């Protein structure tokens, strides 16, 4: 509720609640996850009224050199620097590392964000990945059956490989989980180096009209598709 109202990030909002800075109908609320009705109850934070902001959904084509953060991070360019003329506080759904590019959804809809990011709901993401050579049948089979990493098993839902010229090969990878730098680490585990990584689809949602660095509001039919993919 506080995050949706633009008061602070979800993490900071939780700290405000446990610190006793939030009241509902004049009573301090410290329990996280307390249900409130913003239409019939008065919610305040530090004495200021809190009202939820309208939900907003944006698509952005992240270029390399940008981090998926809404705050400046050690001199790196945050993704929020590419979002202009938007009053609501939005956050990226999932992550792409600084060296990766492609489609990112930004929103203040926490329910949709959770459905898209959590592997339990199995919303697939599709990537085009340039690697430094071909894959043997054994290497490809390992990537689709599961490669053990330090924090879990990386497993591609599907993998298609074609020559891309100059000794490169382009893999079209589909997966629904999201370990840190999973694709890069999985290819490294079978002896291949990722040269370029680009997310081209979230569920059935693509945005071929977006140039790198550009951001726009989602169209109604796009929102309907992504909500259906997320089971909403």
- 132 domain-assigned: yes
- 62 domain-assigned: yes
Cβ atoms of 11 and 2 within 8 Å: the answer is no
Residues 19 and 69 in one domain: no
Residues 90 and 32 in one domain: no
Residues 101 and 111 in one domain: yes
Q: Output the domain CATH number for residue 170.
A: 3.30.2350.10
- Interval 39-65 mean pLDDT: 86
- 3 domain-assigned: no
Three-state secondary structure along 202-217?
ECCECCCCCCCCCEEE
Residues 142 and 36 in one domain: no
Distance from C-alpha of 33 to C-alpha of 22, rounded to nearest angstrom? 13
Residues 130 and 177 in one domain: yes
Instruction: Please say if the pLDDT value at position 149 is more than 80.
Output: yes
- 5 domain-assigned: no
Residues 69 and 174 in one domain: no
- Interval 89-112 mean pLDDT: 90
Residues 188 and 130 in one domain: yes
pLDDT tier, 126 (very low <50, low <70, confident <90, very high otherwise): very high
The fraction of the chain above a pLDDT of 90, given in percent, is 49
- 219 domain-assigned: yes
- 187 domain-assigned: yes
Residues 40 and 109 in one domain: no
Tell me, yes or no, if 99 is annotated catalytic. no
Average pLDDT over the chain, rounded to an integer:
88
Q: Output the domain CATH number for residue 94.
A: 3.30.70.580
Residues 135 and 190 in one domain: yes
Residues 105 and 218 in one domain: yes
Distance from C-alpha of 139 to C-alpha of 156, rounded to nearest angstrom? 12
Write out pLDDT tens, residues 113-123: 888 888 788 89
pLDDT tier, 1 (very low <50, low <70, confident <90, very high otherwise): low
pLDDT number for residue 53: 76
Residue 144's contacts (CB-CB under 8 Å, 6 or more residues apart) are 155, 156, 157, 158, 159
| Domain range for 103 | 57-119+204-229
- 2 domain-assigned: no
The residue annotated as part of the active site, out of 25, 37, 73, 97, is 97
Write out pLDDT tens, residues 212-222: 999 999 999 99
On whether the pTM is more than 0.85, the answer is no
Write out pLDDT tens, residues 188-211: 999 999 999 999 999 999 988 899
Residue 81's contacts (CB-CB under 8 Å, 6 or more residues apart) are 66
Residues 178 and 211 in one domain: no
Q: How many domains in the chain?
A: 3
Residues 77 and 172 in one domain: no
DSSP string, the chain: -TTTTTSS-HHHHHHHHHTT-EEETTEE--STT----TTTS-EEETTEE--PPPP-EEEEEEPTTEES-SS-BTTBEEGGGG--S--S--EESS---TT-EEEEEEES-HHHHHHHH-GGG---EEEEEEESS---HHHHHHHHH-EEETTEEE--SEEEEEEEETTEEEEEEEE----TTHHHHHHHHTT--EEEEEEEEETTB--TTPPTT-EEEPPHHHHHHHHHHTT-
């Amino acid at each position: 509720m506080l995050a949706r109202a633009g008061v602070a990030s979800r993490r900071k909002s939780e700290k405000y609640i446990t610190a006793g800075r939030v009241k509902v109908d004049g009573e301090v609320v410290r329990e996280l996850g307390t249900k409130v009705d913003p239409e019939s109850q008065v919610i305040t934070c530090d004495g200021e009224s809190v009202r939820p902001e309208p939900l907003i959904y944006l698509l952005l084509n992240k270029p390399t050199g940008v981090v998926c953060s809404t705050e400046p991070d050690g001199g790196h360019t945050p993704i929020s620097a590419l979002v202009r003329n938007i009053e609501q506080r939005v956050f990226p759904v999932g992550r792409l590392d600084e060296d990766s590019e492609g489609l990112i959804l930004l929103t203040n809809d926490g329910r949709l964000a959770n459905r898209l990011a959590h592997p339990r709901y199995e919303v697939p993401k599709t990537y085009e990945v340039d690697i430094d050579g071909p894959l043997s049948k054994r290497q490809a089979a390992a990537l689709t059956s599961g490669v053990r990493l330090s924090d879990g098993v990386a497993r591609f839902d599907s993998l298609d490989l074609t020559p891309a010229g100059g000794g490169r090969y382009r893999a079209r990878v589909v997966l629904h989980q999201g370990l840190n730098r999973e694709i890069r680490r999985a290819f490294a585990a079978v002896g291949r180096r990722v040269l370029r990584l680009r997310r081209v689809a979230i569920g059935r949602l693509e945005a071929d009209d977006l140039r790198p660095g550009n951001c726009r509001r989602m169209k109604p039919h796009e929102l309907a598709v992504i909500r259906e993919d997320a089971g909403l």
